[in-house]
A and B are shown apart, each in its own frame.
Chain A
Amino acid sequence: MVATPAPGDASDEVLAERAALGSHEAFETLALRYQARIYRLACRLVGVDDALDVVQEAFLSAFRHLGAFRRESKFSTWLYRIAMNAALMHRRSRTRRRTDSLDAFLPAFEADGSHRGTPAALQVAARADELLDRKLVAEKALALLEQLPETSRSAFVLRDLEELSTSEVALILGVEPAAVRQRVHRARLILRGLLSAMTEGAS
């Protein structure tokens, strides 16, 4: 006879199956397992003040749609998709912030296609964590992320901040991996430009 694992030891997919059959205990185990990750994601997408609302909306939506979970994908991928939608809905209910031109943060080139600037200036963004206050970097970076198109912001947050693979981000966002790479690349270039500008001012 094979013993049934305790909820805390069971895999996500087993717990999701039990939850879909009516086990509140199984769903609460999943909620506690993922709460910190979804909270962190929500902070990056909607800010700390609204993060709890998004976490609650995401898990309630997951609970109500458990019957739609298919085991072809990982439970975490499915949950991330629901959390992204909850954050998106939350953002749509807020007034959009003014959008400044982001092109100023893209790399600049000379007429012959070579980088404009000295190697030291081109590399200065890599020292942002040494030279700048962490809270200031977070504040400016999140404000800039807020101005990115939704598609770029979501891809960057999932790929680079949550450290998911490109293929998993593609599954969550329902796009091709090439589109994820393109969006993440643009966000990286713009954020690199922001860090450069901030660090030049501090050094």
Chain B
Amino acid sequence: MSELVCSNGVDQLMDYLEDVVPPAVRVALDEHVAGCPKCVAFIASYLATPRIVREATRAEAPASLGPLLLQFLRQHRED
């Protein structure tokens, strides 16, 4: 795996994080990242992305949701 480059690492990043890559691939990826500041930076932004989007798009249900939902179900459940 000595020919591993950043683009190969990106291709396998999700599998690496979910621990489904073969042990030899994991070692090769670890070795590459340890010597590659660009991959370290890329991975930091890749890991931050779901959290940032999750927090930005978190919608609180309005207090009226429950009453509206129950009213709707009671009106339609016998249809």
Contact = CB atoms under 8 A, between A and B. Distances in A.
Interface of A is mostly: helix
B14 A185 contact: yes
A67 to B, nearest CB: 14
Contacts of A44: 57, 59
Q: B interface, by DSSP: helix, strand, loop or mixed? A: helix
A40 B39 contact: no
B8 interface: yes
B68 A52 contact: yes
B35 to A, nearest CB: 12
Interface residues of B, number: 45
Interface residues of A, number: 58
16 contacts: A31-B69, A39-B59, A44-B59, A51-B59, A55-B69, A114-B5, A119-B37, A119-B41, A122-B45, A125-B49, A126-B52, A137-B53, A160-B54, A163-B54, A166-B18, A195-B53
10 nearest CB pairs, A to B = A113-B5, A160-B50, A123-B41, A185-B14, A126-B48, A119-B41, A43-B59, A125-B45, A122-B41, A137-B56
